[in-house]
Amino acid sequence: MASRLHLLRLPEQQLLTTSRNTHRPLCSFFGASRALSSVALRGRYNPSIVAKTSARVSELAGTHGNFQGAILLGFGQNRHYADTIVKVPEMAESITEGTLKQFSKQVGDFVERDEEIATIETDKIDVSVNAPDSGTIKEFLVKEEDTVTVGQDIIKLELGSADGKKAGEPSKEPPSFETTPSSKPEQQKTQAEVAQPPSKEEPPSPPKPEPVPQKQARPQPSKEPQPQPGGQTTLGNREERRVKMNRMRLRIAERLKQSQNTAASLTTFNEVDMSSLMEFRKLYKDDVLKKTGVKLGFMSAFSRACVLAMKEVPAVNASIEGPNGGDTIVYRDYVDISVAVATEKGLVTPVVRNAETMDLVGIEKAIADLGKKARDNKLTIEDMAGGTFTISNGGVFGSLMGTPIINLPQTAVLGLHAIKDRPVAVNGKIEIRPMMYLALTYDHRLLDGREAVTFLVKVKEFIEDPRRMLLG
């Protein structure tokens, strides 16, 4: 017993030598096993020492394989990992809170580093919350649909290995070691069961008599709803469904109402003959697609036409700022065009920046990239910040005519509509031409009617003769 007690107090570095010199193999086995467990309890996880000690335990165990399995299992249970807290990430300067829309994982799921584990919905975009490191989700600290702020704790993550199990969770299968004699009776029993002859099949039971068919009952006439007092009849069940508005929808409603209450909105209309632009697109779209990979559309032409028209009417690109509704006009030498894009969650307006420096192909490519990001829900705050003028194309949905609402603090918005063949007078003759209605809604506090109409007529002239845009 003295050798055993002495062995338990030895450090792991001296374990192998002492175990070889002892005259009591069983005590050495217990001592080596105890030392192996103490390594785990003290957190000294040295792979080389553990490997050597485990090998010595196996050597000393001999026929005591059950002891070895129990000790190795206990060793695995004593490994511990630290927890980390996942917080709401930083968003944009103007966004301090959001709604935790959904968790992408469940408690107990293993996540890799940078894997998405939750989505926070703001009034502009959805923000992804990613795992700071690999580990297992231990606890959700908030619930779905809760309002969360930047820096708030939302998930407790238990760091660990990438085997998909909780950190510190014992393996469901015991460690492999040599078969002990105690397992032989079970093997013999299994072999005996296999050696038994198959049981004889039972004779088939006699067929059951078929039931005598009965006469079908006469169908009962359907009961009509009884008249209610007052001559009213009960209709079928009618259901109502109430769904809470998401943050983006709430923000859109707030901004539109703010625009209606702030701006002195007025809309002027005109119509444009799309024949020349459609012919222009037909001639060059294949060459443009082949050289640049960009599909030439109509939005780039209208954007370019607006940029050129603003040179003659710069107030369209200006805005009113200041307290009490504004007392200062801000004029700009750059044009950032907000392009309205419809998504499942609502209307978003990503911005094509410095449109005055781009040609038709450059504008078209920028619009296509922003549209794809919007549909894939990958827009960032920077993609939608700012904007000095908005173009909204309701024609893609079949709108014939409408009055768009100003996107404050901007001063005007141009609405495009569906192209329809209509009879028009051309050089004293009636011809069928592809026509589109244009609608310009503007803030009458800054723009007079003359300026608004002049701007819209300039846009019309550039569209009806696209070659003029090359001279601008």
**Active site amino acids:** 444, 448
Of the candidates 189, 335, 76, which has an alpha carbon nearest to the alpha carbon of residue 68? 76
Helical (H) or strand (E) element with 110:
strand 110-111
Distance CA 299, CA 409 (A): 22
Distance CA 229, CA 425 (A): 64
User: Do 100 and 142 form a contact (C-beta atoms < 8 A)?
Assistant: yes
Helical (H) or strand (E) element with 111:
strand 110-111
Distance CA 184, CA 176 (A): 17
DSSP string, 217-244: PPPPPPPPPPPPTTS------------P
Distance CA 245, CA 101 (A): 12
DSSP string, 382-432: HHHS--SEEEEEGGGGT-----PPP-TT-SEEEEE---EEEEEEETTEEEE
Distance CA 458, CA 309 (A): 6
User: Do 55 and 68 form a contact (C-beta atoms < 8 A)?
Assistant: no
Of the candidates 115, 96, 126, which has an alpha carbon nearest to the alpha carbon of residue 155? 115
The first and second tokens of residue 43, run together, are 């957190």
Distance CA 383, CA 126 (A): 13
Q: Which amino acid is at 268?
A: T
